[in-house]
Chains A and B, each alone.
Chain A
Amino acid sequence: MSMQTVGRLSQPVVTGTSDCVTVSGSKGLLQREDLLFEVGAANQTGVDLPGLKNRSDRLGGVRRAQPLQLAGLSEPQAVRHYVRLSQKNYAIDLGLFPLGSCTMKHNPRLNEKMARLPGFANIHPLQPESSVQGGLALIDELADWLKRLTGMPAVAMSPKAGAHGELCGMLAIRKALEVRGELASRRRVLVPASAHGTNPATAIQCGFTVDEIKADARGRVDMADLELKLQQTDDIAAIMLTNPNTCGLFETDIKAIADLIHAAGGYFYCDGANFNAIVGRVRPGDLGVDAMHINLHKTFSTPHGGGGPGSGPTVLSDALAPYAPLPFVERTEAGLRLVENDCEESQHSFGRMIAFHGQMGMFVRALAYMLSHGGDGLKQVAEDAVLNANYIQVRLKTVMTPAFSGYCMHEALFSDAFTAEGVETIDIAKALIDEGYHPMTMYFPLVVHGAMLIEPTETESKQELDRFCDVMTDIAARASRGHDSLLTAPVNAPVKRLDETQAARRPVLKWQPPVNEAIAAE
């Protein structure tokens, strides 16, 4: 069997009764809150709508047979419901959120205000072009920033997230191979073992096969292994490489890698997840990259929103630009226009990935962020992000085990070598929760045992970093002694460790009315 056994599931450690039992189920400011279906009532509604005329309909009998049984809430109930639930979430606005490879930076509120201007939020994607010239101009201006910052000649704006940008880049590569008449023979995509899981998944989605390249002892691509793989055959379609990579390191041999892959007839897809480390200081276009997605929700501060929506514009080299997806904005003498369908300008386009034109709401936020920082400020962003990460690495290197020697880029990676028997990365993560922090990324990248990947971002002050390092130092000391307090953590969170095994073995994926619960309990 193929076995991958990194990580440990979150298993509840039975701790008996909770130390603080209340009649209400609330704990001070933290209010107990049931599901909205338990709070609300079937005939309740919090929206006052005009009356119906009960005129004859034109449904032709195609009507819902069963009335929709869904509880509603009045406005006060709804506001309270969601405010109470919100308080069970950690957030950047509450404290440092050191999730490696996620770039959890401050989300400026100006961005939110600008995205809500009716001229952006209340325009329809199919309005006549003459009525949305400001919207097209915004897309064009953001595209211009992205091209300049990356040193790439073209950008596809429609991808809806990072992984969708990967799909865009790989589909462009696929199309280029098809035009070359080599799609049938070039099937293999090289992906480093340290890659984010979306990379191999994307390659497969595009119909390629995945071949893993080893990492060397310095956490970089093993050049000997790469050369070997390139020598063997001429079936290479592309390499997918993250730079800075998922170990938080710049790929020293990146230009040599680009040259090798190009000489082998393949393309270089760069995963831009970690662009925050180099924005304004290094342009991917100068490194031989053919395609790279940019997570506007990482480097350019659009909010993560609890897991989306993101946005993943994808820059393309001259070699891939002709294959960019529809639609795209074109400058003409009569103004800006959208090229939406097959026509002369789009004759090589690989097609359309989505309905409409992309994540406009995110474009506005990202452009507000870029304009606020300017070219000078963005360079400072990268430098402060890298400085903060190196500061954390140095402050923690004696109490934890750095995965690699030398400076890091924007994130510091540690292994679990310093922990005592029985204490794992997950226990350290849960102990951080008790101290009021969101944990770092754990068990990723896969190439480091018990990996802990810490990315502070540039929006943390030195005081915040020091406070975090003090906490981490204490937890690390307990972890290396094998202290029991780590195994029961968290005890200060709204809930304790959750039984993920039960959730997966007997999936309960929606609320059922109590009558069904009673039957199930029998």
Chain B
Amino acid sequence: MPIFYTKDHEWISVEGKNATTGITAYAAEQLGDVVFVETPDVGLKVAKGQDMAVVESVKAASDVYAPVGGEVTKSNEALADAPETVNDDPEGEGWFVKLTLSDPSELDELMDAAAYKTFCENA
């Protein structure tokens, strides 16, 4: 499954028209201990770049943006009770939202793993 990254530190893993998104390991580390996650209701239609979730650490609250446009098919409700999962496994169990893509061509504007690594090193 190809994985793409945004400049706002979200990742998106794509399988056909379906995708899973979350925040990157780099972002999770920068935020520090995550204490609260709010994920959207299923059925929400988001445009690329629209805020769709909130993640809070003790020192910061951040909006999480949709890497691409689509419709929310599943939210990771387990994060409500175990927000530390975002720190423990940000790009696995700590996923935020599953989407169906409205326009797969939007993926073209995102970075691959190598480009994102360079991006973070220069941040």
Chain B, Cβ-Cβ closest to A6: B59
| B-side contacts of A11, CB under 8 Å | 33
| B-side contacts of A8, CB under 8 Å | 32, 59
Chain B CB within 8 A of A504 CB: yes
User: When the two chains form their complex, are residues B30 and A505 in contact, meaning their CB atoms are under 8 A apart?
Assistant: no
B103 CB to nearest A CB, Å: 21
User: When the two chains form their complex, are residues B58 and A504 in contact, meaning their CB atoms are under 8 A apart?
Assistant: yes
Whether A504 contacts B56 in the complex (CB less than 8 A), given A1-B65, A2-B8, A9-B33, comes out as: yes
Whether A505 contacts B84 in the complex (CB less than 8 A), given A1-B63, A3-B31, comes out as: yes
User: When the two chains form their complex, are residues B35 and A3 in contact, meaning their CB atoms are under 8 A apart?
Assistant: no
Cα–Cα, bound, A300→B75 (Å): 52
Chain A, Cβ-Cβ closest to B23: A1
Cα–Cα, bound, A2→B64 (Å): 7
Tell me the B47-106 residues at the A interface (CB within 8 Å). 51, 55-60, 62-65, 83-84
**Would you give the 0/1 interface string for A1-36, flagging 1 where the beta carbon is closer than 8 Å to chain B?**
111111111110000000000000000000000000
A72 CB to nearest B CB, Å: 35
Cα–Cα, bound, A3→B57 (Å): 11
User: When the two chains form their complex, are residues A9 and B30 in contact, meaning their CB atoms are under 8 A apart?
Assistant: no
Whether A3 contacts B84 in the complex (CB less than 8 A), given A9-B32, A504-B58, comes out as: no
Chain B CB within 8 A of A500 CB: yes
State the majority secondary structure of interface residues on A: loop
Chain A, Cβ-Cβ closest to B59: A7
Whether A9 contacts B55 in the complex (CB less than 8 A), given A1-B27, A3-B30, A505-B84, comes out as: no
Whether A504 contacts B35 in the complex (CB less than 8 A), given A1-B55, A2-B63, comes out as: yes
Chain B CB within 8 A of A501 CB: yes
User: When the two chains form their complex, are residues A3 and B32 in contact, meaning their CB atoms are under 8 A apart?
Assistant: no
| A-side contacts of B30, CB under 8 Å | 3, 5
User: When the two chains form their complex, are residues A1 and B36 in contact, meaning their CB atoms are under 8 A apart?
Assistant: no
Question: Which of A3, A6, A9, A505 meets B9, CB within 8 Å?
Answer: A3
| A-side contacts of B62, CB under 8 Å | 1-4
Whether A500 contacts B31 in the complex (CB less than 8 A), given A1-B65, A2-B8, comes out as: no
Cα–Cα, bound, A3→B27 (Å): 8
Cα–Cα, bound, A500→B35 (Å): 10
Cα–Cα, bound, A318→B73 (Å): 56
User: When the two chains form their complex, are residues B58 and A9 in contact, meaning their CB atoms are under 8 A apart?
Assistant: yes
User: When the two chains form their complex, are residues B35 and A505 in contact, meaning their CB atoms are under 8 A apart?
Assistant: yes
Q: How large is the interface on A (under 10, 10 to 19, 20 to 34, 35 or more residues)?
A: 10 to 19
| B-side contacts of A1, CB under 8 Å | 8-10, 23, 27, 55, 62-65
User: When the two chains form their complex, are residues A501 and B63 in contact, meaning their CB atoms are under 8 A apart?
Assistant: no
B32 CB to nearest A CB, Å: 5
Tell me the A492-516 residues at the B interface (CB within 8 Å). 500-501, 504-505
A426 CB to nearest B CB, Å: 10
Chain B, Cβ-Cβ closest to A506: B35
Cα–Cα, bound, A2→B49 (Å): 11
Chain A, Cβ-Cβ closest to B84: A505
Quick one: which of A3, A5, A7 has the most chain B CB within 10 A?
Answer: A3
Chain A, Cβ-Cβ closest to B22: A1
Cα–Cα, bound, A11→B62 (Å): 20
| A-side contacts of B64, CB under 8 Å | 1
Chain A, Cβ-Cβ closest to B58: A9
Cα–Cα, bound, A251→B70 (Å): 46
User: When the two chains form their complex, are residues A9 and B27 in contact, meaning their CB atoms are under 8 A apart?
Assistant: no
| A-side contacts of B9, CB under 8 Å | 1, 3
Whether A505 contacts B83 in the complex (CB less than 8 A), given A1-B23, A1-B64, comes out as: yes
User: When the two chains form their complex, are residues A5 and B10 in contact, meaning their CB atoms are under 8 A apart?
Assistant: no
Whether A3 contacts B8 in the complex (CB less than 8 A), given A8-B59, A500-B58, comes out as: yes
Chain B, Cβ-Cβ closest to A10: B58
A170 CB to nearest B CB, Å: 23
User: When the two chains form their complex, are residues A5 and B8 in contact, meaning their CB atoms are under 8 A apart?
Assistant: no
| B-side contacts of A2, CB under 8 Å | 8, 51, 62-63, 65
Chain A, Cβ-Cβ closest to B52: A1
Cα–Cα, bound, A500→B60 (Å): 13
A204 CB to nearest B CB, Å: 14
Tell me the B8-27 residues at the A interface (CB within 8 Å). 8-10, 23, 27
| B-side contacts of A4, CB under 8 Å | 60, 62
Tell me the A459-505 residues at the B interface (CB within 8 Å). 500-501, 504-505
Cα–Cα, bound, A467→B21 (Å): 54
User: When the two chains form their complex, are residues B60 and A5 in contact, meaning their CB atoms are under 8 A apart?
Assistant: yes
| A-side contacts of B27, CB under 8 Å | 1, 3
| A-side contacts of B10, CB under 8 Å | 1
14 contacts between A and B (CB under 8 A): A1-B10, A1-B55, A1-B63, A2-B8, A3-B31, A4-B60, A4-B62, A8-B32, A8-B59, A9-B33, A9-B59, A500-B58, A501-B58, A504-B36
What 10 pairs between A and B have smallest CB-CB spacing?
Answer: A504-B35, A9-B58, A501-B33, A1-B64, A7-B59, A5-B30, A505-B35, A4-B60, A500-B58, A1-B62
Residue numbers of B with Cβ under 8 A of A are: 8-10, 23, 27, 30-33, 35-36, 51, 55-60, 62-65, 83-84
Q: A3-B9, A3-B62, A505-B84 are in contact. List 20 more A-B contacts (CB 8 A).
A: A1-B23, A1-B55, A1-B62, A1-B63, A1-B64, A1-B65, A3-B8, A3-B60, A4-B60, A5-B30, A5-B60, A8-B32, A8-B59, A9-B59, A11-B33, A500-B58, A504-B35, A504-B58, A505-B35, A505-B83
